[in-house]
A and B are shown apart, each in its own frame.
Chain A
Amino acid sequence: MHDKSLSRFKEDVSIVLCGAAGQGIQTVEHILTQTLKLSGYHVFSTEEYMSRIRGGSNSTLIRVSSKRISAPVDRIDLLIPFSPRAVRHVQKRTSARTILLGEKKIYEKEYQGKNAIDIRFSEIASEAGGPIYTNTVAVALLAGLLRVEREVLNQYLRHHFSGKDENTILKNLEAARRGYEVSDELIRSGRLEIDLVKNDAIKDEILIDGVEALAMGAIAGGCNFLSFYPMSPSTAVAVLLAEHSKEFGIVVEQAEDEISAMNMGIGAWYAGARGLASTSGGGFALMVEGLSLAGMIESPMVVHIGQRPGPATGLPTRTEQGDLLFALYAGHGEFPRIILAPGTIEDCFYLAQNAFNLADKYQVPVFILTDQYLLESHYNIPSLDPTQVPIQKHFVETKQGYRRYELTEAGLSPRGIPGFGEGLVVLDSDEHDEEGHITEDLDLRTKMVNKRFKKLDLLKRDVIPPALVGPKHYETLIVGWGSTYHAIKEALGRLGTKDVAFLHFKQVYPLHPEAIVYFKKAKKTVIVENNGTGQFGQLIRMQTGFDMDRKILKYNGLPFSVEELQEQLKSVLD
């Protein structure tokens, strides 16, 4: 059963933990990634899980590397199973190089690979104090194999369990000691050697996920009102903002439905607050009526859509880039909007921050389109700077005779808020006159439509340009948007082609005017999207008339892995 030959890993190790919901895999992921980072490694982790609270088969991927890595791979170097079904669940991702570390009773009937090492996790945990310490044994075993200094793990365990009693802490430390012993034996036996280069600079970096970055960005952008109705995968953003609502002065209200959540957000902006509605596609469907209201009354609004596969309930805990055209077209009638799509953790922060200024400045709804994959991916980044985008409040103190929809040369009417100044702020969801009162003057209607659309031209001044990765002179251009950024970048890096570049969009609407220039320069264009119909490709064609030559699409509910992109890119490049 065991291959006694030496397995050696350099540069990059891919660890997969798999088990049932409720087995504490997330705790292992959390402690392990933190200690690996504190020890000087680059780390990346992401989860895939079923829509249930207990049972099923979930898996967590942790990549540890000497180089900065931020994308998922299919490859499994070390597999740690916590249940027999979970072994079956990840079987097809294993290879001859995969080494399973687990309890024989869990893997012996299921695992078809040849490299399996029996680790008596529950026995060792029981010796340390009880089966509950199994996860700590596993963390320490992996930390040991990766040559994390014992003191780093011990310190982190003390920190992590600081709310618990001393006895619990001591037992965890004991479990860790025993986990390290196992790793020492394995290293001594010569069956496994992991040799990655550490870098001290990484120790001081921050390790966060998309959810945290987005919530922090919203706070940095002055968000002080959040209304939402729970829906995966967006709920985590609301939960986190609720947790920090007191210290940052945020009204957090769980509304009776998304219709209410959206209208609350708009009401908050009307009164001078900075409102955010966080939801997923199905919830956003209910917000569409309110979105159109924001369009008509020229209200700022920020909507976060954490995308998941639809239609309807779809795959609640999986990922997709399936709601781009929905966000673009949502709402009856015609009105301008902005759609942002973060590609990185940094983008989650800075785009969320900027969304509030943009909404306020142009009096339009601004979308932040993320997805389950991006929200729930963690990796280390140098830092985030809340002062990088200063808060710009654009409302004005009103004077007597203030007219909310004054027709101005510039196109934007100064936005007053009730109670600030001597004027009255009048809004109507009907077509309205300059004061804001209902009108059926059809000449005025035309003027008001023109005024609203003038903002689309104005806001183009602030459109974020696409980022070109790779050579300036290229034959083939790969185009992507949002969360696929790192996977495409790493796949292209592995292909090592000289004449292929990658153009990534973090603002997908309106398109940057230069986009077409990039497209036209290429002999061949390939669009990569995590959806079934190539929605961004459609948007590009509609906006520019340019048709992408090839499409690489994925819509099974999982994000692109680096290997599959590498393979598919290779076939379209040949």
Chain B
Amino acid sequence: MGEIDIAWCPGCGNFAILNALKQALSELEIKPERLVVISGIGQAAKAPHYYKCNLFNGLHGRSLPVATAIKASNPELVVVDESGDGCMYGEGGNHFIHAIRRNPDITNIVHNNMVYGLTKGQASPTSLQGFKTLVQREGVFHEAFNPLLIAISLGASFVARAFAGDASQTKDIIKKAISHKGYALVDILQPCVTYNKLNTYQWFKAKTYYLDSSYNPHDRFEALRRASEIEKLPLGIFYLNPRPTFEEKLSVYQERKDPLYKRSPNLTRLTEWIDSKRGI
């Protein structure tokens, strides 16, 4: 990679997430050639341009279908989908729901700063009620989108929340998410120093706490209860629900494991099928 001109504001929470992710990938010894990162559009979606990887920086909100298909076409790749709250929960909301149901073995990292950065300060699906913007002039009155609650209720196989202000724990959570087999959501709280004057570093520090060692992430109802807390936001791994992945269920990988690009159609069998149309 040549000289990198990073497009983020000084002090942006994206830097901390970028560092935590790079650290996690390095500690997991994932080679860039084997890593594919898919992102959408927004300030967070630019992140994969700043580290070595195969990169599919696609459309706003559409990264999850792309990531799902890449993993299904070549399960040997390590697939990470990285984008922001607007991209994943707003424009891509429907894909978010169905990616969880499919359970591809991908890691979904969501930079959640509760505001739109690249389009300059409008409310995001995760903006809290009362948050004022140039558009939401009287303050947001929609109920905030709770990605964890939705993911857990859909039986996501791995659901976690991290805070960009804690580099070490965020890195550890990302490592576990990437190592987890199946769809893994890591919603990472981060401040936007330019457009979100409500949810600042100080606000997050005061409003978050870590799930402690007694917490059982296999208890779905407890996970739902903790994910519903809004006075103080828990951090850590909320829910683990190991189940077969999308790729594992696909018939194309039942008898052979090689990626689709190495395969050719069985023309002999096709000729037999065509011949069957001659009648009896």
Contacts and interface: CB of A to CB of B under 8 A. Distances in A.
Contacts of B57: 426-430, 438
Interface string B251-280: 110100001111111110111011101111
B98 interface: yes
Contact of B66 (A221, A266, A430): A266
B94 interface: yes
B273 A216 contact: yes
A361 to B, nearest CB: 16
Q: How large is the interface on B (under 10, 10 to 19, 20 to 34, 35 or more residues)?
A: 35 or more
A223 B252 CA distance: 13
A391 B265 contact: yes
Contacts of A257: 94
Contact of B58 (A250, A293, A384): A293
Given A267-B66, A271-B261, A419-B259, A248 B266 contact: yes
A4 interface: no
Contact of A249 (B36, B252, B267): B252
Give the interface centre of B52, B58, B64 by most chain A CB atoms within 10 Å. Answer: B58
Nearest to A159: B280
Contacts of B277: 206-208, 212
Interface stretch (B22-30, B70-78, B143-151, B176-184): B70-78
B231 interface: no
Nearest to A425: B54
Contact of A206 (B72, B98, B274): B274
B97 interface: yes
A263 B62 CA distance: 7
B56 interface: yes
Interface stretch (A191-199, A239-247, A479-487, A536-544): A239-247
A424 B53 contact: yes
Interface of B: 1-2, 32-34, 36, 38, 41, 46, 49, 52-59, 62, 64-70, 72-74, 76-77, 94-95, 97-98, 250-252, 254, 259-267, 269-271, 273-275, 277-280
Contact of A225 (B56, B69, B251, B280): B69
A265 interface: yes
Interface string A199-241: 0000111111000100010011111110100000000000000
Interface of A: 34, 37-38, 155-156, 159, 203-208, 212, 216, 219-225, 227, 244-251, 253, 255-257, 259-261, 263-268, 270-275, 289-290, 293, 297, 383-384, 386-387, 391, 393, 395, 417-430, 435-438
Contact of B73 (A159, A203, A271, A391): A271
B73 A34 contact: no
Given A246-B254, A391-B264, A424-B33, 6 more contacts: A247-B266, A259-B62, A263-B65, A271-B74, A429-B41, A429-B59
A267 B68 contact: yes
B228 to A, nearest CB: 26
B71 to A, nearest CB: 8
A204 B274 CA distance: 12
Contact of B70 (A159, A208, A268): A268
Contacts of B259: 271-272, 419
16 contacts: A34-B279, A207-B278, A208-B277, A216-B273, A225-B73, A268-B72, A270-B56, A271-B36, A289-B62, A386-B274, A391-B264, A391-B265, A418-B70, A419-B77, A427-B55, A435-B1
Give the interface centre of B1, B38, B267 by most chain A CB atoms within 10 Å. Answer: B267
A220 B72 contact: no
Contacts of B67: 267
A419 B280 contact: no
B70 to A, nearest CB: 4
Contact of A156 (B49, B64, B264, B280): B280
A-B pairs with lowest CB-CB distance, top 4: A272-B261, A267-B69, A267-B66, A271-B73
A111 B41 CA distance: 64
Given A251-B250, A271-B259, A438-B46, A386 B278 contact: no
A181 B279 CA distance: 25
Nearest to B68: A264
